[in-house]
Structure 1
């Protein structure tokens, strides 16, 4: 059974600094010559890229529902084989969601580091820390790290308010040198953050003065054997749009395509690249096309090659922002409207309020696929959906799935390893 030191970085809520701390901690231990593997809880495309820069290794998703317990165990056991430290960043608050970060920490026996912002409080900090530690009996707890601390005296007040049986790990001050900027879908993308390396290095230096600089105790990770996948996409070349407009891709999804035998190539619509030659199928992932709509509308080479791919009857799979790119038009929150590819009839409009968020499941003739949705836009289209995803627990209707020829488009972000057969059918252009 592989064993490896491991910590679960969580918090009472979003905005406490989980990603800042996880990235800084990964970099700190990497600088000390250790091999660090980082995982991210739940559906997230943004934080993993930042954590990848810090750790120097791909960051994979863990979620008991979307990924499944057995596969989570395999991913952790694989990482434990050669890592010196495993870090798992939680999502939202420690007990938020079903399943929650606490569920994952408890299931796999990974001790929790609670990152709590000390801003605008003193002894009440200890009450929040105690609540997190004691709310669920049996959850392993490593200790508490105070963030956004104003001074040494402030840190002293926070520590004095802590219960005596709860470990104080230290504190981080408030500093623009460490802050990671955010916008409507979460943190900025890694490649867009100015001086990202410097920010992470500043956090690593600050964490070097805390108890987190030392390795925690090893955790045993036992996993069932991995299933053998048939090479359902053997010989297929799948081109994936990849740039700051189209970047929402699970690392596990790409690994699955390759495990099924596909060759993966990349191109950038923002750079006006053509679809790579010999491409059999195309994937347009989600991202921020609304921030680059004018440029996308002007990039004729990319547009012509994607239209030619569609005209040849070759499969296109488009998720969320990728689907918006296929529509007739896209209008941003300022009211500026840009023509898109016109391969799907319809018009998308960005709004300032969240339109949809949460886990969903798509049931098809190939069985179910898990995934999620998260978007600020709405579309108007005359198309009739071929499927509707459902929300787990309630079974209520979720995102629509549209098909026009060999194009399949939806707001639903699928976690492809949950259904390899359906994934292969999508990229073969087969009925499902």
Structure 2
């Protein structure tokens, strides 16, 4: 089996909010400025971190998730990246061992060394105990080194460094500094396009990590091609799909768009916020995002609302995910109690909540096969339509209903279509019959 060699690191931590994205972005920006081609991946279902990591590296960022994608697809992505990159960085999800399939599982399966990011702001020698525990909790993991985040001083950093177990490199530290902190809101990091000073933050983070650490490339890893070779069905030749993409609707996997294009579809991006109408299209894709933050602008764009209503009522294929589904409802009310009427093509109301309404990986059994994805939302909805299917967690958790009315398919689920050409055909091809859709 052919193999490709490339230095690689999987950046993980004990928990969320430790600084994984900041450190990954700092490393990507530093090595990119040294003339290296850095390919970055994001473990787990996430849309916001990849936006920032793309800005840091200057290259597209794809998912790397064993449960959603499968081992062969992950192996294919890594082998393709190793063919062109000087360095592969993979940002983990949550803590190292968290999740139905964890960052540790990926590191072990592909023999990728770990770079641990530890928030050292409120500890000294315990830093080393925490690193030791992460390194030894499960077997067959290689810890290359550790970066200390939110460090108070050079003296504090020395305490942390001297506490480390033998054989684990101290790869430097980032000081506590609001100028490099990436701001957050209820669904995670603020979108990259909304941060006017993002490049300055990334440059400063890279400079500070370089000045407080010994940055060196890790040893090369060997990445083998998958056993199976993907052959794409070009059954979407001649199909134009209008894809919503702006500040209100931006949560979509790159793999989904790539798969649709590989199957022959033409993608026509448009903005429900600022465009007057849908582009000419055979199908419509409304991904998730932040419709609640742009409620007035969406509601005031009456010509766009009329255009989308006409598309749906003509029974043309329409796929709506999470925020895209909220846009379809009669009305959406934000946390301040402000309600606006929206499309009204799916009967119901939604309310933004101060707490999570759904979280976790999900799958649903469609007639053509299982489709996987995830849910993550801070809203509740009362939809006056019968659910045709449910998407369920593989172990536990609240299922999410799936609604189908003619060629309209809507749910809270963010679907992963990178390995699902059958779903792409069933959901987006105009000639598919209703009994194939759901």
Shorter-chain TM-score: what band? Answer: over 0.9
Distance 2:225 2:44 in 1: 20
Q: Which residue of 2 aligns with 1:242?
A: 245
Q: Which residue of 2 aligns with 1:409?
A: 410
Q: Find the residue that maps to 1:380 and give its secondary structure.
A: strand
Quick one: which of 216, 226, 229 aligns to 1:226?
229
Q: Which residue of 1 aligns with 2:266?
A: 263
Q: 1:130, 1:166 within 8 Å by CA — same for their partners in 2? A: no
Q: Find the residue that maps to 1:360 and give its secondary structure.
A: strand
Q: Find the residue that maps to 1:416 and give its secondary structure.
A: coil
1:359/1:186 CA distance change after superposition, 3 Å: same
Distance 2:214 2:376 in 1: 33
Q: 1:320, 1:412 within 8 Å by CA — same for their partners in 2? A: yes
Superposed, 1:20-419 pairs within 5 Å as: 20-211=22-213, 213-224=215-226, 225-277=228-280, 279-394=281-396, 398-419=399-420
> Which structure 2 residue ranges, 5 or more long, are not aligned?
none
Distance 1:230 1:195 in 2: 42
Distance 2:332 2:265 in 1: 32
How far 1:381 sits from its partner (Å)? Answer: 1.5
Distance 2:196 2:131 in 1: 33
Distance 1:406 1:13 in 2: 41
How far 1:78 sits from its partner (Å)? Answer: 0.2
Q: Find the residue that maps to 1:272 and give its secondary structure.
A: coil
Q: For residues 95-138 of structure 1, what are the alpha-carbon distances to aligned partners after superposition, in whole Å with 9 as ceiling and x for unaligned?
A: 11121001101111111000001111111111111111111121
Q: 2:9, 2:115 within 8 Å by CA — same for their partners in 1? A: yes
Q: For residues 168-194 of structure 1, what are the alpha-carbon distances to aligned partners after superposition, in whole Å with 9 as ceiling and x for unaligned?
A: 111110111110000110000001123
- Provide TM-score, normalisation by structure 2: 0.96
Q: Find the residue that maps to 1:334 and give its secondary structure.
A: coil
Quick one: which of 3, 6, 14 aligns to 2:16?
14
Q: 2:358, 2:398 within 8 Å by CA — same for their partners in 1? A: no
> Which structure 1 residue ranges, 5 or more long, are not aligned?
none
- Provide TM-score, normalisation by structure 1: 0.97
How far 1:382 sits from its partner (Å)? Answer: 1.6
Distance 2:109 2:192 in 1: 30
Q: Does 1:2 align with 2:33?
A: no
Q: Find the residue that maps to 2:145 and give its secondary structure.
A: strand
Distance 2:182 2:106 in 1: 25
Distance 2:167 2:6 in 1: 25
Q: For residues 268-313 of structure 1, what are the alpha-carbon distances to aligned partners after superposition, in whole Å with 9 as ceiling and x for unaligned?
A: 0111341112x00000000000111111000112112111212322
Distance 2:247 2:127 in 1: 38
**Number of equivalent positions:** 430
Q: 2:239, 2:282 within 8 Å by CA — same for their partners in 1? A: yes
Q: 1:17, 1:117 within 8 Å by CA — same for their partners in 2? A: yes
Distance 1:98 1:391 in 2: 10
How far 1:397 sits from its partner (Å)? Answer: 5.8
How far 1:399 sits from its partner (Å)? Answer: 1.0
1:81/1:210 CA distance change after superposition, 3 Å: farther
| Larger displacement relative to structure 2 (300-309 or 343-352) | 300-309
Distance 1:118 1:355 in 2: 32
CA RMSD of aligned residues (A): 1.2
Distance 2:248 2:262 in 1: 26
Distance 2:214 2:221 in 1: 16
Which runs of 4 or more aligned residues in structure 1 lie more than 4 Å from their structure 2 counterparts after TM superposition? none
How far 1:263 sits from its partner (Å)? Answer: 0.4
Q: 1:370, 1:418 within 8 Å by CA — same for their partners in 2? A: no
Q: 1:388, 1:397 within 8 Å by CA — same for their partners in 2? A: no
Distance 2:288 2:189 in 1: 15
Q: Find the residue that maps to 1:2 and give its secondary structure.
A: strand
| Larger displacement relative to structure 2 (187-196 or 281-290) | 187-196
